[in-house]
Structure formats: C-alpha cells, structure tokens
Amino acid sequence: MDLGVCMAAKIDDIDYAVLAEQLGYSHLWVADSQMLWSDCYATMALAATRTERIKIGTGVAVAGTRTSAVTAAAHATINRLAPGRVFCAIGTGNTANRVMGAKPMPIAEFERYIRELRVLLDGEEADVAFRGDTRPVHHLMPDAGFVNFQPRIPLYISGFGPRAMALALRHGDGLVMSIHPTVDGLEHAWRRLDVANGSPVDRSSFFTSTLTTMVVLEPGEAVDSERSREACGAFAIAALHYAFEQWKEAGRPDRHPPFDFWDDYVALLDRTDPAVLHQRIHQGHNCWVVDEEQQFVTKQLIEASCLVGTADELANRLDDLSAAGLDQVMLLPPLAAKEDVLRSVAEHVMPRMRSRGAQRGLDFKTT
C-alpha cells in the first residue's frame, strides 16, 4: 500500500510538498476548489519544480469549472515539468460547485466530460462539447515544447455513488473515494464496483485510493483527546458537511447519519440565512474547525471518518485495508498540524508497514 498526501492548495507553502517527498509519501494530490484555496495548477507547477520523485496530480480536479480541453492542457503542462510523475484525478465538484451555490455536475454530463478528457490526455482528437455545440478538438502544437502527453497521464475518477464508481471502470485507470476507513466500508465499495462491472473486478489491476486523515495516539491517549481533535477535527467536520448536504438534498428527514448530535447540528445551520447557507457550510473546509462547530468533533464522528489509533493499531488497519484491495490512503491533515501529522505517520507507522510487507515478501511502496 502507498501513503499519499492531499494538499489544500496553498501557493506559498510548497515546502510542504517537499517535506512529503522527503518523508517517503508516494503521491501529492493537490485539491481544487476555486473559492477555498489557491489555484491547484499554479501550486502543482511550483511543487513539480521543487521535487524529484513524488507523483503530482489533482486531488481532485473539478469537471464543470473548466472545459475538458483546459483540464487536459493543464495536466500536460505539468507533465512537461515533471514527466512521468503527473496524474489526473477528476470529480463532479462537491465543494467547488457547492460554494458557488450549485450542485455537482450531473452524472450523464460527467461521463461525456471524462470521455473527452481521456482522449485529450492521450494527445489525440476528441469531439468536445463547448458553447452549445460539439466539435473536433486537439492540441495543435504538442511537439513544440508547450506540453507533454507522454509519458501517459493516468486518469482516476472520484466517485461515491454507484453510478460515478461505474464511470471509473468504463473510462478511468482507478477510483478515488472518501469512505469509512474500514474493511467493511471498502468491501461495500467493491460490491458496488462488481455490480457495475457485471463480474468481480480484478483488484490487483484497478487502482483504488481513499481520502482520510490519520492520528498516531500515544499509549493510553483517548481518540478524542485535545491533541487528536486538533489533528483530525477539520477532516471530520468536512465529512459532516458532506453528510449534511447529501441528507438535505435527499429530502428524507428521517434518514440521517447516526450521530448523537445531529439535531443540534441541523439546528445550528437552520439559523443561517438560506441565501448564504452554501457559503456557511464550508467555512474552514479541511483547514480548521470554526468555533461553533468544535462541539461536534466527537469520538463518534472521528471514528466514522478518520484513522486514529496507536502506531501498531494503525499499521494493522492499513494492512487489513491493503489485503482487502486498497492501494492507497491519502492523508489530509489541517493546516496548523499538517507537518506534525506527516512526520508522526512517517516515523511511527511507515516502518511498521515496511516490516509487515517484508514479512510477507512484499515491498512497501513509497517514492
């Protein structure tokens, strides 16, 4: 199994990407959300010039805020700076669209988009929908040094529901998820993929990655200790934001996540002017926890969304996830604790993963 890092794009903090490479993380996934963080491609370009081995890509790029041609050209440009290290991960745009007050791209439109994107990433001509019409499009000067379409850029599809997961099988090289980080959660995802495929998916050849964060506890330290809450609270609350939006759109008040505090959380958001609720929900998104939401960073929420435990416990859980077919866990710590989280995992968890891999005759994959 790989361990990767998801970075909330921050243009003046490229040292963080350098640190991730130095510590042995295999992938740098640069998040894309135009009204939350720095531009992902500017951040990726700087990271590409400061690193040598770590793979660099979008985590994930947003269909709908750019045409497929723009997304392909952006990745091929970074591939010019870091040939063979670039990947493209693409999604329908949860926060990027929602912070604009819109829903993610519909699945049918998303499939058209990624069908175009795969062809364009290969440097070939695609029929691209643009301004109400569809026309043949290709890069006119690919050999002039502006872009690199070779080495081939892998395409990973971000999917949570069964239809989006099916698109990863049809058009992508792998699937990016953010599931409950347990074997049961992963097996549920595999069952959806198997159904979409019409037969069991070859788990050894289809790349899978899931987004979470990780906290290495000291012996006897509680899952919801103050230090743990600081290190994983932002990710846990972002998972709560996502759950709220899915619940609200489903129109089923009786079907909500089984959190003890749910009614209090809904009551908090109900006090927000509906005209700006789309802005309020994502305050601090994956970077910090706003004061009025600190009360919801509970043991229950942490355990439902994050990997928290002693070094041995975490290594065991990662080993189990690997055995169940997961290729990578990518970590998204909060801004204030991000370096500490990466160092702690690299110092205490990675060596145990290497030891377990050696015992099974496998290599622990890092850069």
Q: What is the pLDDT at residue 359?
A: 66
What is the C-alpha separation between 350 and 358, in angstroms, rounded?
12
Q: What is the pLDDT at residue 180?
A: 86
Q: What is the pLDDT at residue 161?
A: 85
Residue 228: pLDDT band with limits 50, 70, 90:
very high
Tokens found for residue 96: 């990027």
**Mean predicted confidence (pLDDT) in 265-293:** 96
Mean pLDDT, the chain, integer: 94
Q: Which residue has the tokens 């912070």?
A: 99
Convert the chain into a string of H (helix), E (strand) and C (coil): CEEEEEECCCCCCCHHHHHHHHHCCCEEEECCCCCCCCCHHHHHHHHHHHCCCCEEEECCEEECCECHHHHHHHHHHHHHHCCCCEEEEEECCHHHHHCCCCCCCCHHHHHHHHHHHHHHHCCCCEEEEECCEEEEECCCCCCCCCCCCCCCCCEEEECCCHHHHHHHHHHCCEEEECCCCCHHHHHHHHHHHHHHHCCCCCCCCCEEEEEECEEECCCCCCCCCHHHHHHHHHHHHHHHHHHHHHHHHHCCCCCCCCCCCHHHHHHHHHCCCHHHHHHHCCCCCCCCCCHHHHHHCCHHHHHHHCEEECHHHHHHHHHHHHHCCCCEEEECCCCCCHHHHHHHHHHHCHHHHHHHHHHCCCCCCCC
Q: What is the pLDDT at residue 257?
A: 87
What is the C-alpha separation between 1 and 26, in angstroms, rounded?
10
State pLDDT tens for residues 154-167. Answer: 999 999 888 999 99
Residue 323: pLDDT band with limits 50, 70, 90:
very high
Say whether pLDDT at 361 is over 70: no
**Mean predicted confidence (pLDDT) in 238-260:** 87
Q: Which of 191, 168, 171, 216 is nearest to 324 (CA)?
A: 191
Say whether pLDDT at 83 is over 80: yes
Q: What is the pLDDT at residue 358?
A: 60
Predicted TM-score (pTM) of the model is: 0.94
Domain ranges of the chain: 2-213+308-359
Q: What is the pLDDT at residue 360?
A: 63
State pLDDT tens for residues 297-309. Answer: 999 999 999 999 9
**Mean predicted confidence (pLDDT) in 338-353:** 97
User: What is the topology classification, in CATH, of domain 2-213+308-359?
Assistant: TIM Barrel (3.20.20)
**Mean predicted confidence (pLDDT) in 4-16:** 98
Tokens found for residue 124: 């070939």
Please give the C-alpha separations between residue 229 and each of 6, 60, 293, in angstroms, as whole numbers. Answer: 19, 25, 12
What is the C-alpha separation between 22 and 32, in angstroms, rounded?
24
What is the C-alpha separation between 217 and 222, in angstroms, rounded?
8
Least confident span in 21-25, 177-181, 359-363: 359-363
Q: What is the pLDDT at residue 367?
A: 45
